[in-house]
Structure 1
Amino acid sequence: MKRRDFGQYCGLARALELVGERWALLIIRDLAVRPRRYTDLLEGLPGIPTNVLSTRLKELEQAGLVERRVAPAPERGIRYVLTADGSALEPAVHALGRWGTGQLDEPRPGDIVTPESVTMSLRAGFNPAAAARRDASWEIRAGDMVLHAVVAEGRLAAGVGPVPLPGKAQLVITFDPDDLPSYQALMQAAKCGLVELEGRRTLLNTFVDVFTPPVDTPPVDQDPAPDRRRRES
Protein backbone atom coordinates (compact mmCIF):
# COMPACT_ATOMS: atom_id res chain seq x y z
CA MET A 1 0.00 0.00 0.00
CA LYS A 2 1.45 3.35 -1.03
CA ARG A 3 2.48 5.60 1.84
CA ARG A 4 2.25 9.37 1.65
CA ASP A 5 5.78 10.64 1.18
CA PHE A 6 6.77 14.19 2.15
CA GLY A 7 10.16 13.86 0.51
CA GLN A 8 12.01 15.19 3.57
CA TYR A 9 14.73 13.49 5.59
CA CYS A 10 13.18 14.53 8.90
CA GLY A 11 11.95 12.56 11.88
CA LEU A 12 8.68 14.51 12.11
CA ALA A 13 8.01 14.01 8.40
CA ARG A 14 8.67 10.31 8.78
CA ALA A 15 6.32 10.09 11.78
CA LEU A 16 3.57 11.85 9.85
CA GLU A 17 4.05 9.48 6.94
CA LEU A 18 3.39 6.58 9.31
CA VAL A 19 0.67 7.91 11.64
CA GLY A 20 -0.45 11.21 10.15
CA GLU A 21 -3.47 9.88 8.27
CA ARG A 22 -6.96 10.57 9.65
CA TRP A 23 -7.95 8.23 12.55
CA ALA A 24 -4.49 6.62 12.79
CA LEU A 25 -3.50 8.17 16.12
CA LEU A 26 -6.91 7.46 17.64
CA ILE A 27 -6.44 3.80 16.76
CA ILE A 28 -3.00 3.97 18.42
CA ARG A 29 -4.60 5.67 21.45
CA ASP A 30 -7.19 2.93 21.92
CA LEU A 31 -4.71 0.09 21.43
CA ALA A 32 -2.35 1.70 23.94
CA VAL A 33 -5.06 1.15 26.56
CA ARG A 34 -5.82 -2.48 25.72
CA PRO A 35 -5.84 -4.95 22.82
CA ARG A 36 -9.00 -4.66 20.72
CA ARG A 37 -10.85 -6.68 18.15
CA TYR A 38 -11.90 -5.05 14.90
CA THR A 39 -15.49 -4.74 16.12
CA ASP A 40 -14.28 -3.23 19.42
CA LEU A 41 -12.35 -0.56 17.53
CA LEU A 42 -15.32 0.12 15.30
CA GLU A 43 -17.58 0.56 18.32
CA GLY A 44 -15.08 2.76 20.17
CA LEU A 45 -14.50 5.06 17.20
CA PRO A 46 -18.00 6.14 16.14
CA GLY A 47 -17.92 7.83 12.79
CA ILE A 48 -15.03 5.90 11.28
CA PRO A 49 -16.09 4.17 8.04
CA THR A 50 -15.41 0.43 8.00
CA ASN A 51 -13.21 0.70 4.91
CA VAL A 52 -11.13 3.44 6.54
CA LEU A 53 -10.62 1.38 9.69
CA SER A 54 -9.54 -1.62 7.63
CA THR A 55 -7.15 0.53 5.59
CA ARG A 56 -5.60 2.20 8.64
CA LEU A 57 -5.07 -1.13 10.39
CA LYS A 58 -3.33 -2.53 7.31
CA GLU A 59 -1.13 0.56 7.06
CA LEU A 60 -0.21 0.40 10.74
CA GLU A 61 0.57 -3.30 10.42
CA GLN A 62 2.79 -2.69 7.40
CA ALA A 63 4.56 0.07 9.32
CA GLY A 64 5.31 -2.40 12.13
CA LEU A 65 3.25 -0.50 14.71
CA VAL A 66 0.33 -2.91 15.07
CA GLU A 67 0.08 -6.67 14.85
CA ARG A 68 -2.67 -9.27 14.98
CA ARG A 69 -2.75 -11.97 17.63
CA VAL A 70 -5.12 -14.82 18.37
CA ALA A 71 -7.22 -13.91 21.40
CA PRO A 72 -6.55 -16.15 24.42
CA ALA A 73 -9.29 -18.50 25.65
CA PRO A 74 -12.15 -18.13 26.38
CA GLU A 75 -12.20 -15.30 23.82
CA ARG A 76 -12.28 -16.04 20.13
CA GLY A 77 -10.99 -14.36 17.03
CA ILE A 78 -8.18 -11.92 16.36
CA ARG A 79 -7.14 -8.97 18.47
CA TYR A 80 -5.02 -6.03 17.39
CA VAL A 81 -2.14 -5.06 19.69
CA LEU A 82 0.65 -2.51 19.56
CA THR A 83 4.16 -3.67 18.80
CA ALA A 84 7.13 -2.30 20.74
CA ASP A 85 7.47 0.50 18.17
CA GLY A 86 3.76 1.24 18.44
CA SER A 87 3.88 1.36 22.24
CA ALA A 88 6.82 3.77 22.01
CA LEU A 89 4.39 6.31 20.54
CA GLU A 90 2.47 6.63 23.82
CA PRO A 91 4.51 9.53 25.29
CA ALA A 92 4.04 11.46 22.04
CA VAL A 93 0.30 10.76 22.13
CA HIS A 94 0.21 12.00 25.73
CA ALA A 95 2.03 15.21 24.84
CA LEU A 96 -0.21 15.88 21.86
CA GLY A 97 -3.30 15.14 23.98
CA ARG A 98 -2.19 17.58 26.69
CA TRP A 99 -1.67 20.27 24.06
CA GLY A 100 -5.04 19.51 22.46
CA THR A 101 -6.82 19.71 25.81
CA GLY A 102 -5.82 23.37 25.96
CA GLN A 103 -7.54 23.93 22.62
CA LEU A 104 -10.89 22.46 23.68
CA ASP A 105 -13.96 24.67 23.90
CA GLU A 106 -17.43 23.50 24.90
CA PRO A 107 -18.39 20.02 23.64
CA ARG A 108 -19.89 20.06 20.16
CA PRO A 109 -23.19 18.37 19.34
CA GLY A 110 -22.57 14.66 18.88
CA ASP A 111 -19.25 14.62 20.76
CA ILE A 112 -18.71 11.49 22.85
CA VAL A 113 -16.27 10.36 25.52
CA THR A 114 -14.91 6.82 25.56
CA PRO A 115 -13.25 4.87 28.38
CA GLU A 116 -10.08 4.70 26.28
CA SER A 117 -9.93 8.47 25.84
CA VAL A 118 -10.36 9.13 29.58
CA THR A 119 -7.80 6.44 30.45
CA MET A 120 -5.25 8.05 28.15
CA SER A 121 -6.05 11.46 29.64
CA LEU A 122 -5.33 10.07 33.11
CA ARG A 123 -2.02 8.70 31.88
CA ALA A 124 -1.20 11.99 30.13
CA GLY A 125 -2.14 14.01 33.21
CA PHE A 126 -0.12 11.85 35.60
CA ASN A 127 2.31 13.88 37.68
CA PRO A 128 5.27 11.65 38.64
CA ALA A 129 6.63 14.20 41.12
CA ALA A 130 3.33 14.29 43.03
CA ALA A 131 3.18 10.48 42.99
CA ALA A 132 6.69 9.96 44.33
CA ARG A 133 6.81 7.68 47.39
CA ARG A 134 3.04 7.18 47.21
CA ASP A 135 1.07 3.95 46.88
CA ALA A 136 -2.66 4.24 46.23
CA SER A 137 -5.43 2.77 44.12
CA TRP A 138 -8.65 4.26 42.84
CA GLU A 139 -11.72 3.03 41.02
CA ILE A 140 -13.39 5.73 38.96
CA ARG A 141 -17.05 5.42 38.05
CA ALA A 142 -19.06 7.73 35.81
CA GLY A 143 -22.32 6.30 34.51
CA ASP A 144 -21.47 3.06 32.72
CA MET A 145 -17.77 3.92 32.65
CA VAL A 146 -15.49 2.16 35.14
CA LEU A 147 -11.75 2.84 35.20
CA HIS A 148 -8.92 2.08 37.57
CA ALA A 149 -5.72 3.86 38.50
CA VAL A 150 -3.03 2.31 40.67
CA VAL A 151 0.13 4.08 41.82
CA ALA A 152 2.87 1.86 43.22
CA GLU A 153 6.36 3.15 44.00
CA GLY A 154 5.55 6.31 42.06
CA ARG A 155 4.52 4.47 38.89
CA LEU A 156 1.06 4.47 37.33
CA ALA A 157 -1.06 1.66 35.93
CA ALA A 158 -4.36 2.92 34.55
CA GLY A 159 -6.91 1.05 32.50
CA VAL A 160 -10.53 0.20 31.80
CA GLY A 161 -12.49 -1.74 34.42
CA PRO A 162 -12.01 -2.30 38.17
CA VAL A 163 -8.62 -2.70 39.81
CA PRO A 164 -7.26 -6.04 38.55
CA LEU A 165 -7.49 -8.96 40.94
CA PRO A 166 -6.24 -9.67 43.54
CA GLY A 167 -6.12 -5.93 44.17
CA LYS A 168 -8.95 -3.75 45.44
CA ALA A 169 -9.43 -0.01 45.14
CA GLN A 170 -8.60 1.91 48.30
CA LEU A 171 -11.01 4.63 47.18
CA VAL A 172 -13.99 4.39 44.84
CA ILE A 173 -14.86 7.75 43.29
CA THR A 174 -18.28 8.03 41.67
CA PHE A 175 -18.88 11.03 39.44
CA ASP A 176 -22.26 12.28 38.33
CA PRO A 177 -21.27 14.88 35.76
CA ASP A 178 -23.99 17.08 34.29
CA ASP A 179 -22.17 17.01 30.97
CA LEU A 180 -19.93 14.51 29.20
CA PRO A 181 -17.81 12.50 31.66
CA SER A 182 -14.61 13.89 30.17
CA TYR A 183 -11.29 14.03 32.00
CA GLN A 184 -11.76 17.78 32.46
CA ALA A 185 -15.26 17.37 33.93
CA LEU A 186 -14.15 14.55 36.22
CA MET A 187 -11.16 16.47 37.56
CA GLN A 188 -13.26 19.59 38.14
CA ALA A 189 -15.84 17.56 40.07
CA ALA A 190 -13.07 15.96 42.15
CA LYS A 191 -11.52 19.33 42.98
CA CYS A 192 -14.91 20.72 44.02
CA GLY A 193 -15.83 17.63 46.04
CA LEU A 194 -18.87 16.91 43.83
CA VAL A 195 -18.34 13.16 44.02
CA GLU A 196 -19.42 10.17 46.07
CA LEU A 197 -16.66 8.40 47.95
CA GLU A 198 -16.27 4.88 49.29
CA GLY A 199 -13.10 3.97 51.12
CA ARG A 200 -10.17 6.11 52.24
CA ARG A 201 -11.62 9.58 51.69
CA THR A 202 -8.26 11.31 52.21
CA LEU A 203 -7.10 9.78 48.92
CA LEU A 204 -9.36 12.16 46.99
CA ASN A 205 -6.86 15.00 47.49
CA THR A 206 -4.08 12.62 46.50
CA PHE A 207 -6.02 11.76 43.33
CA VAL A 208 -6.31 15.45 42.41
CA ASP A 209 -2.59 16.04 43.06
CA VAL A 210 -1.43 12.98 41.17
CA PHE A 211 -3.57 13.63 38.10
CA THR A 212 -2.99 17.35 37.75
CA PRO A 213 -0.25 17.72 35.12
CA PRO A 214 2.85 19.66 36.15
CA VAL A 215 3.21 23.11 34.66
CA ASP A 216 5.51 22.91 31.67
CA THR A 217 8.66 24.99 31.90
CA PRO A 218 9.09 27.23 28.84
CA PRO A 219 12.05 26.19 26.71
CA VAL A 220 15.23 28.18 27.08
CA ASP A 221 15.73 30.65 24.24
CA GLN A 222 19.12 29.63 22.92
CA ASP A 223 19.12 32.14 20.08
CA PRO A 224 18.54 35.80 20.95
CA ALA A 225 15.78 37.51 19.02
CA PRO A 226 16.98 39.34 15.88
CA ASP A 227 16.14 42.79 17.26
CA ARG A 228 18.06 41.99 20.47
CA ARG A 229 21.11 40.93 18.44
CA ARG A 230 20.95 44.18 16.50
CA ARG A 231 20.85 46.22 19.73
CA GLU A 232 23.81 44.31 21.12
CA SER A 233 25.95 44.69 17.99
Structure 2
Amino acid sequence: MAARDYGQYSGITRAMELVGERWALLIVRDLLVGPRRYGELAAGLHRIPSNILAARLKELQAAGVIRRAPRSRVIVYELTPYGRELEPVVLALGAWGFKAMDEPREEQLITAESMTMDLRSAFRPRTALELPTTSYAGRFGAVDLLIRVDGDELDVTPGGDASGSGLGGVGPVDLAFAAGPGIRRLITGELEAGQAIETGVVEVLGGRGELLDRFASTFRVAA
Protein backbone atom coordinates (compact mmCIF):
# COMPACT_ATOMS: atom_id res chain seq x y z
CA MET A 1 0.00 0.00 0.00
CA ALA A 2 1.39 3.43 -0.92
CA ALA A 3 2.20 5.81 1.91
CA ARG A 4 -0.36 8.20 0.43
CA ASP A 5 -3.40 7.36 -1.68
CA TYR A 6 -4.67 10.23 -3.83
CA GLY A 7 -7.83 8.38 -4.84
CA GLN A 8 -7.27 8.76 -8.58
CA TYR A 9 -6.61 6.13 -11.24
CA SER A 10 -3.78 7.65 -13.29
CA GLY A 11 -0.16 6.94 -14.16
CA ILE A 12 1.00 10.29 -12.79
CA THR A 13 -1.02 9.76 -9.64
CA ARG A 14 0.53 6.33 -9.15
CA ALA A 15 4.01 7.74 -9.68
CA MET A 16 3.36 10.38 -7.02
CA GLU A 17 2.15 7.69 -4.63
CA LEU A 18 5.40 5.78 -5.15
CA VAL A 19 8.01 8.57 -5.12
CA GLY A 20 6.12 11.75 -4.22
CA GLU A 21 6.61 11.59 -0.46
CA ARG A 22 9.02 14.15 1.02
CA TRP A 23 12.70 13.18 0.54
CA ALA A 24 11.88 10.21 -1.73
CA LEU A 25 13.13 11.74 -4.98
CA LEU A 26 16.24 13.11 -3.28
CA ILE A 27 17.06 9.58 -2.14
CA VAL A 28 16.57 8.44 -5.74
CA ARG A 29 18.76 11.34 -6.94
CA ASP A 30 21.64 10.33 -4.70
CA LEU A 31 21.32 6.66 -5.67
CA LEU A 32 21.50 7.64 -9.34
CA VAL A 33 25.08 8.70 -8.58
CA GLY A 34 25.78 5.22 -7.17
CA PRO A 35 24.94 2.74 -4.40
CA ARG A 36 25.07 4.20 -0.88
CA ARG A 37 25.17 2.88 2.67
CA TYR A 38 22.52 4.08 5.09
CA GLY A 39 25.01 6.41 6.78
CA GLU A 40 26.12 7.88 3.45
CA LEU A 41 22.53 8.66 2.53
CA ALA A 42 21.97 10.26 5.92
CA ALA A 43 25.13 12.37 5.57
CA GLY A 44 24.23 13.51 2.05
CA LEU A 45 20.70 14.45 3.14
CA HIS A 46 21.85 16.02 6.38
CA ARG A 47 18.43 17.35 7.43
CA ILE A 48 16.47 14.15 6.99
CA PRO A 49 15.25 12.68 10.31
CA SER A 50 16.44 9.10 10.80
CA ASN A 51 12.90 7.77 11.13
CA ILE A 52 11.88 9.42 7.86
CA LEU A 53 14.93 8.03 6.05
CA ALA A 54 14.16 4.54 7.33
CA ALA A 55 10.50 4.90 6.31
CA ARG A 56 11.31 6.17 2.82
CA LEU A 57 13.82 3.40 2.22
CA LYS A 58 11.24 0.83 3.30
CA GLU A 59 8.58 2.36 1.04
CA LEU A 60 10.90 2.57 -1.97
CA GLN A 61 11.93 -1.04 -1.46
CA ALA A 62 8.30 -2.14 -1.26
CA ALA A 63 7.61 -0.27 -4.51
CA GLY A 64 10.48 -2.05 -6.27
CA VAL A 65 12.39 1.21 -6.81
CA ILE A 66 15.42 0.34 -4.67
CA ARG A 67 16.90 -2.78 -3.09
CA ARG A 68 19.37 -3.69 -0.39
CA ALA A 69 22.51 -5.43 -1.62
CA PRO A 70 25.59 -6.80 0.18
CA ARG A 71 28.87 -5.14 -0.84
CA SER A 72 32.18 -5.98 0.82
CA ARG A 73 30.55 -7.08 4.08
CA VAL A 74 28.27 -4.05 4.29
CA ILE A 75 24.74 -3.45 3.07
CA VAL A 76 24.18 -0.75 0.49
CA TYR A 77 21.05 0.60 -1.12
CA GLU A 78 20.90 0.71 -4.90
CA LEU A 79 18.32 1.40 -7.57
CA THR A 80 16.62 -1.49 -9.32
CA PRO A 81 16.28 -1.40 -13.13
CA TYR A 82 12.75 -0.09 -12.53
CA GLY A 83 14.16 2.63 -10.28
CA ARG A 84 16.80 3.63 -12.83
CA GLU A 85 14.00 4.41 -15.26
CA LEU A 86 13.48 7.53 -13.12
CA GLU A 87 16.80 9.00 -14.29
CA PRO A 88 15.45 11.10 -17.21
CA VAL A 89 12.61 12.28 -14.96
CA VAL A 90 15.02 13.40 -12.24
CA LEU A 91 17.34 15.10 -14.76
CA ALA A 92 14.43 16.94 -16.37
CA LEU A 93 13.20 18.09 -12.96
CA GLY A 94 16.73 19.26 -12.15
CA ALA A 95 16.98 21.33 -15.33
CA TRP A 96 13.51 22.78 -14.71
CA GLY A 97 14.28 23.62 -11.08
CA PHE A 98 17.66 25.13 -11.98
CA LYS A 99 15.88 28.00 -13.72
CA ALA A 100 14.09 28.97 -10.51
CA MET A 101 17.15 28.88 -8.23
CA ASP A 102 18.00 32.08 -6.38
CA GLU A 103 20.92 32.96 -4.13
CA PRO A 104 21.53 30.20 -1.56
CA ARG A 105 20.60 30.57 2.05
CA GLU A 106 23.42 30.33 4.57
CA GLU A 107 22.40 26.87 5.79
CA GLN A 108 22.15 25.35 2.30
CA LEU A 109 24.97 23.00 1.31
CA ILE A 110 26.37 21.63 -1.93
CA THR A 111 27.01 17.89 -1.79
CA ALA A 112 28.95 15.73 -4.23
CA GLU A 113 25.70 13.99 -5.18
CA SER A 114 23.69 17.17 -5.68
CA MET A 115 26.40 18.82 -7.79
CA THR A 116 26.95 15.68 -9.83
CA MET A 117 23.27 15.51 -10.70
CA ASP A 118 23.09 19.26 -11.39
CA LEU A 119 25.92 18.84 -13.90
CA ARG A 120 24.18 15.87 -15.45
CA SER A 121 20.95 17.89 -15.66
CA ALA A 122 22.73 20.75 -17.46
CA PHE A 123 24.86 18.56 -19.74
CA ARG A 124 24.34 19.17 -23.47
CA PRO A 125 25.51 16.01 -25.26
CA ARG A 126 24.84 17.33 -28.76
CA THR A 127 27.06 20.34 -28.11
CA ALA A 128 29.72 18.15 -26.50
CA LEU A 129 29.85 15.91 -29.59
CA GLU A 130 31.27 18.82 -31.58
CA LEU A 131 34.01 19.58 -29.02
CA PRO A 132 37.31 17.90 -28.17
CA THR A 133 37.52 15.59 -25.18
CA THR A 134 38.05 17.78 -22.12
CA SER A 135 38.66 17.11 -18.44
CA TYR A 136 37.98 19.55 -15.63
CA ALA A 137 38.78 19.56 -11.92
CA GLY A 138 36.01 21.59 -10.32
CA ARG A 139 35.88 22.75 -6.72
CA PHE A 140 32.35 23.69 -5.71
CA GLY A 141 32.47 24.96 -2.15
CA ALA A 142 33.84 22.01 -0.17
CA VAL A 143 33.17 19.51 -2.97
CA ASP A 144 35.88 18.50 -5.46
CA LEU A 145 34.83 16.76 -8.66
CA LEU A 146 36.70 15.42 -11.67
CA ILE A 147 34.55 16.08 -14.74
CA ARG A 148 35.41 14.39 -18.03
CA VAL A 149 33.52 15.04 -21.25
CA ASP A 150 34.25 12.68 -24.14
CA GLY A 151 31.87 13.24 -27.02
CA ASP A 152 28.35 12.77 -25.70
CA GLU A 153 29.63 10.87 -22.64
CA LEU A 154 29.90 12.59 -19.26
CA ASP A 155 31.77 11.12 -16.30
CA VAL A 156 31.76 12.89 -12.92
CA THR A 157 33.94 11.45 -10.16
CA PRO A 158 34.32 12.73 -6.59
CA GLY A 159 37.87 13.75 -5.83
CA GLY A 160 39.56 16.07 -8.23
CA ASP A 161 42.68 18.10 -7.47
CA ALA A 162 42.59 21.87 -7.40
CA SER A 163 46.21 21.99 -8.53
CA GLY A 164 45.06 20.78 -11.92
CA SER A 165 46.78 17.40 -11.71
CA GLY A 166 43.51 15.48 -11.66
CA LEU A 167 42.94 12.35 -9.64
CA GLY A 168 45.72 9.99 -8.72
CA GLY A 169 46.77 8.03 -11.78
CA VAL A 170 44.48 9.99 -14.10
CA GLY A 171 46.93 12.64 -15.20
CA PRO A 172 46.57 16.40 -15.59
CA VAL A 173 43.24 18.02 -16.38
CA ASP A 174 42.69 20.66 -19.02
CA LEU A 175 41.19 23.16 -16.60
CA ALA A 176 40.98 23.34 -12.81
CA PHE A 177 38.67 25.93 -11.27
CA ALA A 178 36.85 26.84 -8.07
CA ALA A 179 33.34 28.21 -7.82
CA GLY A 180 30.64 28.64 -5.23
CA PRO A 181 26.87 28.56 -5.78
CA GLY A 182 27.31 31.44 -8.22
CA ILE A 183 28.30 28.85 -10.83
CA ARG A 184 24.57 28.68 -11.61
CA ARG A 185 24.88 32.12 -13.24
CA LEU A 186 27.37 30.67 -15.71
CA ILE A 187 25.25 27.57 -16.34
CA THR A 188 22.07 29.59 -16.97
CA GLY A 189 23.91 31.98 -19.29
CA GLU A 190 23.46 34.98 -17.01
CA LEU A 191 27.25 35.39 -17.10
CA GLU A 192 29.67 34.65 -19.92
CA ALA A 193 32.84 32.77 -19.05
CA GLY A 194 35.02 35.89 -19.13
CA GLN A 195 32.61 37.78 -16.89
CA ALA A 196 32.49 34.89 -14.44
CA ILE A 197 36.27 35.04 -14.07
CA GLU A 198 36.43 38.84 -13.92
CA THR A 199 33.76 39.05 -11.22
CA GLY A 200 35.26 36.24 -9.12
CA VAL A 201 32.34 33.87 -9.59
CA VAL A 202 34.87 31.39 -10.98
CA GLU A 203 38.55 31.26 -10.05
CA VAL A 204 40.93 29.53 -12.46
CA LEU A 205 43.33 27.36 -10.46
CA GLY A 206 45.26 25.68 -13.23
CA GLY A 207 45.25 24.67 -16.86
CA ARG A 208 43.81 26.75 -19.68
CA GLY A 209 41.43 29.40 -18.40
CA GLU A 210 39.92 29.95 -21.84
CA LEU A 211 38.38 26.48 -21.60
CA LEU A 212 35.82 27.84 -19.15
CA ASP A 213 33.94 29.03 -22.22
CA ARG A 214 33.85 25.40 -23.42
CA PHE A 215 32.57 24.32 -20.01
CA ALA A 216 29.81 26.93 -20.22
CA SER A 217 28.81 25.69 -23.68
CA THR A 218 28.75 22.08 -22.51
CA PHE A 219 26.75 22.71 -19.33
CA ARG A 220 23.94 25.12 -20.05
CA VAL A 221 20.37 25.46 -18.85
CA ALA A 222 18.68 28.38 -20.57
CA ALA A 223 17.16 30.72 -17.98
Instruction: Pick the TM interval, shorter chain.
Output: 0.7 to 0.9
* Structure 1 partner of 2:118: 121
1:175-214 CA deviation, whole Å, 9 max, x = no partner?
153xxx465167559552231232244432211110113x
Contact 2:64–2:83 at 8 Å: present in 1 too?
yes
* Structure 2 partner of 1:103: 100
Taking structure 2 as the reference length, what is the TM-score of the superposition?
Answer: 0.82
Distance in 1 (CA, whole Å) between partners of 2:56 and 2:120 is 24
* Structure 1 partner of 2:78: 81
Deviation of 1:129 (Å): 2.0
| Structure of larger gyration radius | 1
* Structure 2 partner of 1:173: 176
* Structure 1 partner of 2:134: 136
Contact 1:23–1:56 at 8 Å: present in 2 too?
yes
Distance in 2 (CA, whole Å) between partners of 1:14 and 1:66 is 17
Q: Where does 1:14-53 land on structure 2 (aligned, <5 Å)?
A: 14-53=14-53
Distance in 1 (CA, whole Å) between partners of 2:24 and 2:7 is 20
Instruction: Say which SS state the counterpart of residue 67 (structure 1) adopts.
Output: strand
* Structure 1 partner of 2:163: none
Deviation of 1:68 (Å): 1.3
* Structure 1 partner of 2:57: 57
Q: Where does 1:188-199 land on structure 2 (aligned, <5 Å)?
A: 192-193=196-197, 194-199=202-207
Deviation of 1:164 (Å): 6.6
Bigger mean CA offset, 188-197 vs 5-14 = 188-197
Distance 1:78 1:147, change over 3 A: same
Q: CA RMSD in A?
A: 2.5
Taking structure 1 as the reference length, what is the TM-score of the superposition?
Answer: 0.79
Instruction: Say which SS state the counterpart of residue 158 (structure 1) adopts.
Output: strand
Q: Where does 1:137-152 land on structure 2 (aligned, <5 Å)?
A: 137-152=135-150
Distance in 2 (CA, whole Å) between partners of 1:185 and 1:115 is 19
Distance in 1 (CA, whole Å) between partners of 2:102 and 2:211 is 30
Deviation of 1:161 (Å): 2.3
Distance in 2 (CA, whole Å) between partners of 1:111 and 1:69 is 31
1:37-79 CA deviation, whole Å, 9 max, x = no partner?
101111111211101000100111111111111223xxx4111
* Structure 2 partner of 1:219: none
Instruction: Say which SS state the counterpart of residue 215 (structure 2) adopts.
Output: helix
Distance 1:24 1:41, change over 3 A: same
* Structure 1 partner of 2:153: 155
Q: Percent identity?
A: 43
Contact 1:118–1:182 at 8 Å: present in 2 too?
no
Q: Is 1:209 the equivalent of 2:217?
A: yes
Instruction: Say which SS state the counterpart of residue 48 (structure 2) adopts.
Output: coil
Bigger mean CA offset, 189-198 vs 38-47 = 189-198
* Structure 2 partner of 1:70: 70
Instruction: Say which SS state the counterpart of residue 148 (structure 1) adopts.
Output: strand
Distance in 2 (CA, whole Å) between partners of 1:190 and 1:33 is 27
Aligned pair count reads 209
